[in-house]
A and B are shown apart, each in its own frame.
Chain A
């Protein structure tokens, strides 16, 4: 059992299939409800990290009554350690565009946006070309669906869906209160489906090969494949498509450098797993039968024994101190307290027991922050301090 190698590679997302015209035409002919049902039965969950069932999202939005609706592709890939969406948009943009058009058809939207992070501006030109070509085809098949790129300008928080919409509306990217949810009150207050780039790419796979093919991959509650952005102390950094449900142990066998001390799963807002817990940690959504399960947007950062976990945490907290939108108290002030707190403990200005006070604060941040990101900013703190307490002190 211990060494059972269970990493299952897959090749769907980047498989270059020049048949989007066919898939789009075919899918558009299907009954809308049928498309939704297929997505639901695939059990595809959002690949941005939050894991909301995609089919349900489309269903709810399709049921919202409104003349105007929108489809947004969330390409504000800002989570440290994540770079898969960039690759999808540069290699197989038409899959995303096709998925957006199908979504528009299903929910009754005529307009789609790709919110592209400012850091990826160099992609804009090629992507626009792909959009032009795609629109040309839409015209040919008389599909009334327009797609345009909306450029971000350097704000991590805009990856949060409602912050992203605020940003598109020309405002500060501050997350909204939920409810209401985008399915009823999204961009410009209209029902909106907002999906991560990778999520949309997977729907293409589902439209092409059917839900069953997708469902048969992965494990219970975590179906299908997922792109993993692998970085840090690894001999083979890069993007890998793997079936969900693998254990972290297997992952480290494959990608570690033989000296892996810990893996940060899910980026700076994710969790750090120390070596001793690798075999108990499964990568997938909640409900895995044994051990801890870690939902993820696909960021896998490996650290070997030469790395100081204090420095790692310090780097994350610096990131959040700056990238918190700043509107809600727990996230804005909490991030500053965590950052200054570990420094104070390191310097000896605060006793080691202050870490426990900060640990309790991370709970409050998780319970009370306004948005999903604010609720998860302290994950890295609790998992790093929880597992490497001594590194924080000495």
Chain B
């Protein structure tokens, strides 16, 4: 059994093999592998015995269940109104500048992916972003550079 198969098997053991367990399993695979590959979707379908098309259709509905290969750290910058008003564009420029990637891209070393996302629920501390599950608020270009520097160092360890 390859790592993906055993991951899916473990997740199915943990959450169950019914249709209502699909989301937690998908989330578990994304957590580990950062995205849902064609292979992992087929294996999930096999494991819980539902059509592969259903897995694909369900997964693509949810913006956090990426079907495209993502970096180790997925940066999601909020683009909704208050963040847009309070300077998310500058924040994104700063990130793009630092990582040399555009929105939707992943750094060649596979460490960072940059995405925009809809309201994160931090409008009173806009602009906000997520790096994986961590929240960062009241962002400025300076602050975001500091945050990313820390991640880059962490990554080098």
Q: Do A and B bind each other?
A: yes
Contacts of A151 in B (CB 8 A): 23-24, 27
Asked whether A118 lies within 8 Å of B64 as measured between CB atoms, the reply is yes
Q: Which of B102-110, B130-138, B146-154 contacts A (4 or more CB under 8 A)?
A: B130-138
Mark B115-130 against chain A: 1 for CB-CB distance below 8 A, else 0.
Answer: 0011111111110001
Interface residue? A122 (CB, 8 A): yes
B65, B79, B81, B133, most chain A CB atoms within 10 A = B81
Contacts of A117 in B (CB 8 A): 121
Could you tell me the distance in whole angstroms from the C-beta of B48 to the nearest C-beta in chain A? Answer: 9
A197 to B24, CA, bound (A): 22
Residue in B23, B117, B122, B134 whose beta carbon sits within 8 Å of that of A83 in the complex: B122
The range of chain B's interface size is 35 or more
Contacts of A319 in B (CB 8 A): 80-81, 118-119
Interface residue? A188 (CB, 8 A): yes
Asked whether B124 lies within 8 Å of A153 as measured between CB atoms, the reply is no
Contacts of B81 in A (CB 8 A): 80-81, 232, 264, 268, 301, 312, 315-316, 319
Interface residue? B95 (CB, 8 A): no
The range of chain A's interface size is 35 or more
Interface residue? A229 (CB, 8 A): yes
Could you tell me the distance in whole angstroms from the C-beta of A78 to the nearest C-beta in chain B? Answer: 6
Interface residue? B22 (CB, 8 A): yes
Q: Nearest residue in A to B119 (C-beta to C-beta)? A: A80
Q: Nearest residue in B to A84 (C-beta to C-beta)? A: B121
Interface residue? A156 (CB, 8 A): yes
A81-B119, A119-B120, A301-B82 are known contacts. Are A231 and B23 too (CB-CB below 8 A)?
Answer: no
A78-B119, A119-B121 are known contacts. Are A153 and B26 too (CB-CB below 8 A)?
Answer: yes
A81 to B120, CA, bound (A): 9
Contacts of A23 in B (CB 8 A): none
Asked whether A315 lies within 8 Å of B80 as measured between CB atoms, the reply is yes
Interface residue? B98 (CB, 8 A): no
Interface residue? B84 (CB, 8 A): yes
Asked whether B118 lies within 8 Å of A188 as measured between CB atoms, the reply is no
Mark B40-66 against chain A: 1 for CB-CB distance below 8 A, else 0.
Answer: 000000000000000001100111110
Interface residue? B100 (CB, 8 A): no
Asked whether A238 lies within 8 Å of B63 as measured between CB atoms, the reply is no
Q: Nearest residue in B to A316 (C-beta to C-beta)? A: B81
Interface residue? A307 (CB, 8 A): yes
Interface residue? B20 (CB, 8 A): yes
Residue in B57, B58, B65, B122 whose beta carbon sits within 8 Å of that of A154 in the complex: B65
Asked whether A82 lies within 8 Å of B121 as measured between CB atoms, the reply is yes
Interface residue? A243 (CB, 8 A): no
Mark B72-96 against chain A: 1 for CB-CB distance below 8 A, else 0.
Answer: 0000000111101100000000000
Contacts of A238 in B (CB 8 A): 124
Asked whether B82 lies within 8 Å of A232 as measured between CB atoms, the reply is yes
Could you tell me the distance in whole angstroms from the C-beta of B142 to the nearest C-beta in chain A? Answer: 21
Interface residues of A (CB under 8 A from B): 77-83, 86, 117-122, 150-156, 167-173, 188, 229-233, 237-239, 264, 268, 299, 301, 307, 311-312, 315-316, 318-319, 322-323, 325
30 A-B contacts, Cβ less than 8 Å apart?
A78-B121, A80-B80, A80-B81, A81-B82, A82-B123, A118-B62, A118-B64, A119-B119, A119-B121, A150-B23, A153-B26, A153-B65, A154-B63, A154-B64, A155-B62, A170-B19, A172-B57, A229-B124, A231-B123, A231-B124, A232-B82, A232-B123, A237-B125, A299-B123, A301-B81, A312-B81, A315-B80, A315-B81, A316-B81, A319-B81
Interface residues of B (CB under 8 A from A): 18-24, 26-27, 57-58, 61-65, 79-82, 84-85, 117-126, 130, 133-135
Given contacts A121-B133, A170-B19, 18 further A-B contacts (CB under 8 A): A79-B119, A80-B81, A81-B81, A82-B121, A83-B121, A150-B23, A151-B24, A151-B27, A153-B26, A154-B117, A154-B118, A229-B123, A233-B85, A238-B124, A264-B81, A299-B123, A301-B81, A323-B118
